[in-house]
Amino acid sequence: MIAAVQAVRQWSRDVLTAWNHFWFAPAAPHTLALIRILAGLMLFYTHLVWSFDLEAFLGTAPWVTREASQAMFRSPYTWSYLWHLESPWLLWLAHGLALVVFAALTVGFRTRLASILAWLITLAYCHRLQGALYGLDQVNAMLAMYLTVGPAGAVWSVDRWLAKRRAAAPATPVPSIGTNLAIRLIQVHLAIVYLFGGISKLKGTAWWDGSAVWLAVANYEYQSLDLSWLGRWIPLIAIFTHVTVFWETFYPILIWPRLTRPVMLVLAVCVHGSIAIALGMPTFGMAMIIANLAFLEPAFTAAVVHACGQRLRRHAKPASSAKQTL
């Protein structure tokens, strides 16, 4: 009996140790910084697009009125400053400042403040633009929220460059608990999204009979690349369909082991890359790939970015030498 109690206590200690290590072990900031740059670019671009018809969406006579937008929310805690901008010049000023905030987040200038403001601004646009949103905006809001948790500007940022000029930054970025916490929150949130997405697909007969991929690529509403030739390869369509639903359903399980993680990430790039290229949703596909970067090890991310930087510098040197010769 005593041995059993001791075994249970040891198991409980091991579980608690693993739990604490999962959430609170310090991590290097490179992966979080890469997500900051790419997610910041996505936020900047997707909000810049509203500029082409800003007043039609948010002006004094919008397609979705303020009253209708507010009525779509039952929670008294939902709020958007865009509900209260009556003047066109105030609207454009607020929109311009929002773009400045997203640009600051991308380059990592005053990153902590920029990340908080970017999240609040993203929520404000999501709350105001009900009826004109889709999954991309939800992914943007998710990433913006978790970028507020960790030091996303600890590397590859204007903040770090300024700190190095003041000799206030260490030679190498310091691992932190906040970085790990932010990455873990993205990972867990993403796993939950895929879990419910997979369960939802399992309810549809098209995913069971193998025709779902064909129904997607043959839909002219979404088609941006003609894949109708797949109609001659029925078994191939069925394979794509079943692999997709298997990947999404079991992603929350198979993404964690190191042995299966690369396979799941490659499939994520294939699935979301196909959505981006063939189904007319490039921004959504890229946003989901950006979110999946959370599962890259910081050392791997740093090595890849360093290698890419070296290659760009090697290509830039011959060009600069040629200009000097001329």
DSSP character string of 248-261: HHHHHHHTSSTTTH
Q: Confidence band (pLDDT; 50, 70, 90) for 320? A: low
Summarised one tens digit per residue, pLDDT across range 9-68 is 999 999 999 999 999 999 999 999 999 999 999 999 999 999 999 988 888 888 888 888
pLDDT in tens, 137-154: 999 999 999 999 999 999
**285 neighbors 38 (Cβ within 8 angstroms):** no
- Number of folded domains that form the chain: 2
Is 84 within the bounds of a domain?
Answer: yes
In a shared domain, residues 165 and 183:
no
Do 246 and 285 belong to one domain? yes
Query: Which range has the worst mean pLDDT, 78-82, 97-101, 174-178, 222-226?
Result: 222-226
Confidence of residue 263 (pLDDT cuts 50, 70, 90): very high
67 in a structural domain: yes
Q: Does a structural domain hold residue 61?
A: yes
3-state DSSP helix/strand/coil percent for the chain, to nearest 5? 75, 0, 25
* Predicted pLDDT at 120: 96
SS3 154: coil
User: Using CA atoms, how far apart are residues 290 and 190, in angstroms rounded to an integer?
Assistant: 11
Instruction: Decide if 319 is inside a domain.
Output: no
- Are 214 and 152 members of one domain? no
Q: Do 168 and 182 fall within a single domain?
A: no
Three-state DSSP state, 27: strand
Do 169 and 217 reside in the same domain of the chain?
no
Phi, psi (5° rounding) for residue 22?
-60, -45
214 and 126 in a common domain: no
| Whole-number pLDDT of residue 251 | 97
Owning domain of residue 138? 27-173
Alpha carbons 211 and 259: distance in angstroms, whole number? 30
Return left, alpha or beta for 297; rule: phi > 0 is left, psi -120 to 50 is alpha, else beta: beta
- Tens-digit pLDDT profile for residues 48-65: 999 999 988 888 888 888
The pLDDT confidence band at residue 131, using thresholds 50, 70 and 90, is: confident
Q: In the listed set 173, 205, 220, which residue is the last one of a domain according to the structure?
A: 173
- 42 and 154 assigned to the same domain: yes
| Torsion of Cα atoms, 117 then 123 then 129 then 132, to 10° | 110
- pLDDT, averaged across the chain: 90
pTM: 0.91
Could you give the count of Cα atoms lying within 13 Å of 115 in the half-sphere of its Cβ? 26
Q: Would residue 2 count as lying in a domain? A: no
- 228 with 138, same domain: the answer is no
Same domain, 105 and 187: no
Which residues, including other chains, have CB under 8 Å from residue 68's CB and lie 6 or more apart? 131
230 and 258, same domain (yes or no): yes
- Is residue 106 predicted with pLDDT exceeding 80? yes
d(CA 50, CA 139): 17
Determine, yes or no, domain membership for 317: no
pLDDT of 159 > 90? The answer is yes
Whether 1 is in a domain gets the answer: no
pLDDT for position 316: 73
- At residue 291, does pLDDT exceed 90? yes
